[in-house]
Chain A
Amino acid sequence: MFARGLKRKSAEDAEDADGGVAGVPAAPSYTLQRQSLLDMSLVKLQLCHMLVEPNLCRSVLIANTVRQIQEEMTQDGTWRVVAPQAAGRAPLDRLVSTEILCRSGREQEGEGDGPLPDPAPGQAPRRPQSSPWGLDGSREGRGGFQKSLDHIFETLENKTPGSVEELFSDVDSSYYDLDAVLTGMVGGAPAGPGLPAFAPAAAAPPSSTCRSDLGELEHAVEILVET
């Protein structure tokens, strides 16, 4: 569970937790918490795009959260490609950490397990409405939004522009008023002025690898926006 203000653990703690234990870490590291939040936010943004009528306010708030995390991770120098050994991991593993995170957080507070409705890992946020017209109608342009969740996760995992292009290759943008398409889609802005808090204890300056990877994600998000 996120504390009121995310407190930075020392670099050593972070390493211990990230070092990977088979079991659940007693107190999830800040890095793990932040990564889980990023994953959760990206899932939410993706699901926004699949809805009939995306809620613009919600999309903007989630996108701003993603941007904040991105900026902080860029400052930390922790923005890096998924390590090779982890590439084969199923996307679900990354989301499991969210559930563990929130569960262990509640235990920390000593309130006991309560019925806060945490969705199971990987489960979409619920949206009550369903269109009676169906989205698989004759409108070819909507087809791009019907990809399965797995496909979208895979695409984000890979973070290569080519695969994201594939995802939306059959979207015929001529059917769209640009406004309608971009409603709910907010691209990653270039990193702006850094956030004041969370000055890293010891941070390597962002490496060139780091910058190019940030660029790749931005590129991916831009493609989502420009579709």
Chain B
Amino acid sequence: TGGSGGPDIISTVEFNHTGELLATGDKGGRVVIFQREPESKNAPHSQGEYDVYSTFQSHEPEFDYLKSLEIEEKINKIKWLPQQNAAHSLLSTNDKTIKLWKITERDKRPEGYNLKDEEGKLKDLSTVTSLQVPVLKPMDLMVEVSPRRVFANGHTYHINSISVNSDCETYMSADDLRINLWHLAITDRSFNIVDIKPANMEDLTEVITASEFHPHHCNLFVYSSSKGSLRLCDMRAAALCDKHSKLFEEPEDPSNRSFFSEIISSVSDVKFSHSGRYMLTRDYLTVKVWDLNMEARPIETYQVHDYLRSKLCSLYENDCIFDKFECAWNGSDSVIMTGAYNNFFRMFDRNTKRDVTLEASRESSKPRAVLKPRRVCVGGKRRRDDISVDSLDFTKKILHTAWHPAENIIAIAATNNLYIFQDKVNSEMH
């Protein structure tokens, strides 16, 4: 947590593949990595809590002299690479440049050099009368972070997504109009695999909003658009994947049509399920589950905050209608989660069809307290702790949420505060 507003606003949250590490990126270009403390009998109350592991400056503000434009240092996305040795690696990106960072631990240091003294100064050779073998002695843990690759100049427009391929060798980056495929070891070129830029920019009516590789099939990826459609592409079919393999689009409901229909249908996030069988999308008012085998419509639709449907004019005026909320699956793909306003976030159980609204705030969450479900009332009977729609604070938005890959632990970013909630009672996935 930091001061109010400004560079401390968290802009992305991501668990690594084991859930041991949690990375956050912020508006000031910093990355903070948290590590889960191993459960120990000595301190039973701090079982599995997350402490700061490393902090580093990933991106700095830049100035593009040709276009006279400033490039923000805000971290848009972080994605972890699968761990292949003792070191951890992650990709972090701002609007224009992706960087590969390597995180290593050092807990030993050599002592007993022949030519250098304790401070590292060269010894006077005449004082060296015998030779010794330097030994490794334990030292306080030091976490070192170093930039290993910088993938620059691949994007004219703003990068909104990055996704590591299951082959662990390549990854993709998507901006508003194009998607590029990179090899993790090669920084001076990338392959353009999707390009929806029209020949005449005046004809532009649709942009790419998010994209992700399939978790198991290294040739498949999906990208979403501002018109609410999903395109599943197969890289084996063609070098340029403009012709989608499958187009997922729900027909418009004519009874709900308004001038805001398109804006609220714009997909702000798309996530494959862990199983790879489903996709989860978030648009302004709903989250939807899609079956990869059915393109005609989603198999499930959940209302996040339908009470906002009658407020769309105001939300258009104050720009809230353009807020991009993320969504997340739990480890067993049985529960989905997304953020909302007033520091509320919502969870939907796909099996029981029950949903809950919870709040991330200092007032309502003391350590080890149980989160109380919240309710938004829309007129009619009002219970004591209900919030009315007009009392919602639209400046408190939960855009970024993440779910531990295996356990019931969630990370919620509320402006410049990070909340980590654990379900101790039901630690196992159902």
Residue of A98, A114, A183, A189 near B203 (CB, 8 A) is: A189
Q: With the chains together, A220 CA to B69 CA distance in Å? A: 25
Interface of chain B residues 301 through 345 with chain A (CB within 8 A): 309-319, 322
Stretch of A14-22, A137-145, A152-160 on the interface side: A137-145
Q: With the chains together, A219 CA to B61 CA distance in Å? A: 37
Q: Which residues of A contact B157 (CB under 8 A)?
A: 56, 183
Using CB atoms, name the residue of chain A closest to B157: A56
Q: With the chains together, A182 CA to B63 CA distance in Å? A: 19
Q: Which residues of B contact A106 (CB under 8 A)?
A: 314, 390
Query: Is A186 a contact of B204 with CB atoms below 8 Å?
Result: yes
Minimal beta-carbon separation of B53 from chain A (angstroms):
29
Residue of B206, B254, B257, B262 near A65 (CB, 8 A) is: B262
- Render B96-124 as a binary contact track against A, CB cut-off 8 A, 1 for contact: 00000000000000000000000000000
Interface of chain B residues 251 through 268 with chain A (CB within 8 A): 254-260, 262-263, 266
Using CB atoms, name the residue of chain A closest to B252: A196
Number of A interface residues, CB 8 Å? 67
Contact A177 B322, CB 8 Å, known A4-B310, A5-B256, A101-B313? no
Measuring CB to CB, which residues of chain B are less than 8 angstroms from any residue of chain A?
Answer: 61, 63, 66-72, 95, 156-158, 176-177, 201-207, 209, 226, 254-260, 262-263, 266, 309-319, 322, 379, 388-395
14 contacts between A and B (CB under 8 A): A2-B310, A2-B312, A4-B256, A6-B259, A40-B316, A53-B69, A55-B158, A57-B322, A58-B319, A60-B204, A111-B388, A111-B389, A114-B389, A185-B201
Query: Is B67 a contact of A116 with CB atoms below 8 Å?
Result: no
- Render A71-110 as a binary contact track against B, CB cut-off 8 A, 1 for contact: 0000000000000000000000000001001100110011
Q: Which residues of A contact B202 (CB under 8 A)?
A: 182, 186-187, 189, 222, 225
Query: Is B313 a contact of A1 with CB atoms below 8 Å?
Result: yes
Closest 5 CB pairs of A and B: A114-B390, A187-B202, A182-B201, A2-B313, A180-B67
Q: Which residues of A contact B315 (CB under 8 A)?
A: 116
Query: Is B314 a contact of A1 with CB atoms below 8 Å?
Result: yes
Query: Is A142 a contact of B311 with CB atoms below 8 Å?
Result: no
- Render A169-183 as a binary contact track against B, CB cut-off 8 A, 1 for contact: 000000111111011
Q: Which residues of B contact A182 (CB under 8 A)?
A: 201-202
Q: Which residues of B contact A4 (CB under 8 A)?
A: 256, 258, 309-310
Q: Which residues of A contact B70 (CB under 8 A)?
A: 52-53, 129, 131-133
Query: Is A37 a contact of B206 with CB atoms below 8 Å?
Result: no
